[in-house]
Amino acid sequence: MDMKTSTFERVESEVRSYSRSFPKMFDRAQGATIYDQNGRSYTDFLSGCSSLNYGHNDQDLKQALIDYVSRDGIAHGLDMFTDAKEQFLAAFERIILQPRDMDYRVQFTGPTGANAVEAALKLARKVTGRHSVVAFTNGFHGVTLGALAATGNGKHRGGAAIPLGGVARAAFDGYFGADIDTTEMLDRQLSDPSSGFDAPAAIIVETVQGEGGLNAASPEWLRRIETIARKHGALFIIDDIQAGCGRTGGFFSFEGMGLSPDIITMAKSLSGMGLPLAVTLLRPEHDIWSPAEHNGTFRGNNHAFVTARAALEKFWADEGFARKIAGNAAYLEQRLRAMAETNGLSLRGRGMMMGIDTGSGEAAAAICRACFSDGLIIETSGSHDEIVKVLAPLTIPRAQFAAGLDTLETAVRSQMDHWRIAAE
């Protein structure tokens, strides 16, 4: 490690993580390419865990931000009315909500996904007067105590060092195999007054579990979950933080599925350029917050409003971008399916949020290391980090996408061969 990265060893907490997988000092980035301080370029198949769906430093978003900063646009205004916020809200209403016939209020929470989830769970409990929230196996919703209770990951849960309450756990789609309908199980438990499942304030679900292993719920399963929520008087919350903003095709991950969530949480790619921004979308009838009841200093990140609006206008004003995503996703699926079949592995995920289940955390780690040696940044997910997860920018040029997938293909083949030999 050179002199500069030694600063991190000396001063940064041991909690740092991605810098361990990718131990280079990065300097600048453009589109799907990141450069380290020595000028070497890397293709980014991680995209800030889906926070950079439009790639790094999109020229239009970047210019909008520079213009705003240059003209002394308000950077920090608490939750006061600002021009930047108004334009974002108006664009969100016009471009996202109205065309989809969605009637939601926007709550600006502290600019982290976890904070949006905390707000959602608090509000659901306030609205219903109930305390328990149903969350799913392998779900990930953040690591602050309220959100962490809903998160399945044991390492993160252990970090709390106290018991986490207020959440009942249900099995995600397919958790017990294809033959078992886990919605029937949940309905049975909630319908049985003696099951030990308290009447829930909410059911919170990701349509595709990004951290939990690219488990994609079927539309039918999601519709049944919504039906169960309604039947039992619970709010239906979709956590769209990782799967939303185009990652699975539409702006929301559940478009076209016939779902009407009571609450939707969004963050990650919402600002378009990776700036911290999070919102909780509420059906108006649930908007019973008193002023500042859930607050936070950075709950109006005006720079993020500027880039978020620019992203909405550039990418979502018509259907061109969604078509482009669909094309990329089809290509991705074709490539991954080939890799999976060649190596006897299985495909996971949906849209531009797919990966390969290697069956082993060690194998997956080895593949990612091999990719990084060859200039590709890619990470794992799943209970045992056994899924190699492709989260390329949605805007990645086809040639670069293909080259990155070539790199992945080579790494999968060589590492899985190696792995099989070692196992024999």
| Interface with its own copies in residues 184-213 (CB under 8 A) | 184-185, 188-189, 192-199, 201, 212-213
Q: Which residue has the tokens 């990084």?
A: 372
Query: Of the listed pieces 105-113, 217-225, 228-236, 389-397, which binds its own copies according to CB under 8 A?
Result: 105-113
User: CB 63 → its own copies: shortest distance, Å?
Assistant: 9
Q: Nearest to residue 109, comparing CAs of 58, 148, 59, 147?
A: 147
- Binding of residue 169 to its own copies (CB under 8 A): yes
For its own copies, the closer of residues 226 and 385 by Cβ is 385
For its own copies, which residue of 32, 135, 202, 229 counts as binding (CB under 8 A)? 135
Nearest residue (CB) to its own copies, 51 versus 343: 51
User: Within positions 229 to 258, which residues make up the interface with its own copies, using CB under 8 A?
Assistant: 241
The helix/strand/coil state of 202 is: strand
Residue from 22, 254, 305, 401 that binds its own copies (CB under 8 A)? 22
Among 54, 95, 139, 236, which residue interacts with its own copies (rule: CB under 8 A)? 139
Neighbours of 369 (CB within 10 A): 15
| Shortest Å, Cβ 323 to its own copies | 26
**In the complex, minimum distance from the CB of residue 383 to its own copies, in angstroms, rounded to a whole number:** 4
**Other beta carbons less than 10 A from residue 347's beta carbon:** 17
> Is residue 288 a contact residue for its own copies (CB under 8 A)?
yes
Q: Binding to its own copies by residue 100, rule CB under 8 A?
A: no
**Nearest to residue 218, comparing CAs of 259, 275, 251, 267?**
259
Q: Applying CB under 8 A, does 30 fall inside the site for its own copies?
A: yes
By CB under 8 A, name the one of 60, 100, 126, 413 that touches its own copies: 126
Query: Which residue blocks in 151-248 are alpha helix, DSSP H?
Result: 154-160, 182-191, 219-231
60 binds its own copies (CB under 8 A): no
Please select the residue that binds its own copies; options are 43, 95, 107, 328, rule is CB under 8 A.
107
Residue (272 or 351) nearer to its own copies, CB: 272
Burial 8-26, CB ≥16 within 10 A → b, else e: eeeeeeeeeeeeeebebee
How many whole angstroms separate alpha carbon 306 and alpha carbon 62? 10
Among 238, 267, 311, 336, binds its own copies (CB under 8 A): 267
In contact, 169 and 177? CB cutoff 8 Å: no
- Quick check: 48 binds its own copies (CB under 8 A)? yes
In the window 292-321, what residues touch its own copies (CB under 8 A)?
Answer: 292-298, 301, 303
CB count within 10 Å of CB 391 equals: 28
Question: Nearest 10 degrees: CA dihedral of 280, 286, 288, 292?
Answer: 0
SS3 174: coil
Stretch binding its own copies (CB under 8 A), from 6-14, 250-258, 336-344, 387-395: 6-14
Query: What SS3 state is found at 347?
Result: strand
CB closer to its own copies out of 289 and 331? 289
Per CB under 8 A, contacts with its own copies among 310-369 are none
Tokens of 84: 């930047």
CA 12, 16, 18 angle in degrees (round to 5)?
135
Binding mask 78-97 for its own copies (x = CB under 8 A): xxxxxx-xx--xx-xx---x
Instruction: Please work out, in degrees rounded to the nearest 5, the angle formed at the alpha carbon of residue 186 by the alpha carbons of 185 and 191.
Output: 100
Residue 302 to residue 79: CA distance in whole angstroms: 10
Closer CB to its own copies, 313 or 333, in the complex: 313
User: How far is it, in rounded angstroms, from Cα 227 to Cα 223?
Assistant: 6
Quickly tell me which residue has 């069956």 as its tokens: 359
Smallest distance, its own copies to C-beta of residue 122, A: 5
Taking CA atoms, 120 is separated from 124, 209, 281, 400, in Å, by: 6, 18, 9, 38
Stretch that binds its own copies, among 56-64, 250-258, 368-376, 410-418 (CB under 8 A): 56-64
The three-class DSSP label of residue 126 is helix
Report the nearest approach of its own copies to the CB of residue 200 (Å).
Answer: 12
Nearer to its own copies by Cβ, of 71 and 178: the residue is: 71
28 counts as binding its own copies under rule CB under 8 A: yes
Q: How far is the CB of 379 from its own copies (least distance, A)?
A: 9
Among 100, 122, 324, 413, binds its own copies (CB under 8 A): 122
Rounded distance, CA 97 to CA 354, Å? 27
